[in-house]
């Protein structure tokens, strides 16, 4: 991790101790760096803090309700929204403590606010965060984690991942990375059983 963002990671970690969000966030950060490399016009100083902080709000949702706040068994959509609004509050506190300017905080938290509930992207930075947030599902960790959450078989998940290649990504770079990761999973599917 770039030393510029290490202090944000350290501040975010206590809020990510639920549902493997710490590992999820680490994967997302790695993908976000690669997506920024593919989009040098994007502001890394917005994208990378946003990805590190995007899920800190889940810490305010009761753990026993989290898996029913998104996905195929969602019965608490208001809690999915809560993780975004509380994420904005927590991220603002962290970034203020670290001396970020108000306009930078607003740019970062505008991405956090709506990253799961709003279907449209407001900027290239928003698009890169959204793509990074989806790419982790195309890793063996993502396959194991999501399968465990929702009792999906590997075949069911692979079918969803294939379908999402054409519908879930905002950038060509995100789609290409997803295709590459999907190909890896296909080749190594028998090794992951």
Question: How far from the centroid of its chain's Cα atoms is residue 190's Cα?
Answer: 27
pLDDT in tens, 146-165: 888 888 889 999 999 999 99
Residue 2 is encoded by which pair of tokens?
């770039």
Mean pLDDT within 46-58: 97
pLDDT tens by residue, 21-33: 999 999 999 999 9
Chain position carrying tokens 């990375």 = 177
Q: What is the pLDDT of residues 163-191, one digit of tens each?
A: 999 899 999 999 999 999 999 999 987 77
Task: Give the CATH fold of the 6-192 domain.
Answer: Hypothetical protein af1432 (1.10.3210)
pLDDT at 74: 86
Among 150, 149, 140, smallest CA distance to 181 is for 140
At 2 the three-state DSSP class reads coil
Residue 73 confidence (pLDDT): 80
Report the largest interatomic distance among the alpha carbons of the chain, rounded to a whole angstrom.
50
| Closest by CA position to 53, among listed 21, 99, 81, 18 | 21
The continuous run of DSSP H or E covering 80 comes out as helix 77-97
Centre a 10 Å sphere on the Cβ of residue 18 and count the other Cβ atoms it contains: 15
Question: CA distances (Å), 4 to each of 42, 99, 187, in order?
Answer: 17, 13, 36
10 Å CB burial of residue 68 (0-12, 13-18, 19+) is middle
Q: Where are the domains of the chain?
A: 6-192
Cβ 83 vs Cβ 58: under 8 Å: yes
φ, ψ of residue 159 in degrees (nearest 5) = -65, -40
In the DSSP assignment, the letter for residue 78 is H
Tokens of 29: 């950060």
């Amino acid at each position: 991790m770039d030393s510029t963002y290490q202090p944000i990671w350290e501040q975010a970690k206590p809020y990510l101790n639920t549902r493997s969000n710490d590992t999820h966030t680490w994967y997302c950060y790695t993908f976000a760096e690669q997506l920024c490399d593919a989009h040098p016009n994007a502001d890394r100083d917005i994208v990378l803090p946003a990805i590190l902080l995007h899920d800190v709000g889940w810490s305010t949702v009761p753990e026993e309700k989290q898996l029913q706040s998104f996905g195929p068994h969602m019965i608490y959509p208001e809690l999915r929204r809560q993780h975004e609004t509380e994420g904005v509050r927590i991220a603002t506190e962290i970034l203020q403590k670290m001396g970020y300017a108000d306009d930078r905080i607003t740019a970062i938290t505008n991405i956090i606010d709506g990253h799961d509930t709003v279907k449209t992207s407001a900027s290239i930075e928003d698009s890169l965060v959204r793509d990074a947030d989806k790419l982790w599902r195309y890793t063996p960790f993502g396959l194991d984690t999501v399968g465990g959450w929702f009792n999906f078989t590997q075949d069911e998940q692979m079918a969803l991942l294939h379908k999402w290649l054409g519908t879930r990504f905002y950038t060509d770079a995100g789609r290409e990375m997803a295709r590459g990761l999907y190909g890896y999973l296909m080749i190594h599917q028998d090794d992951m059983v």
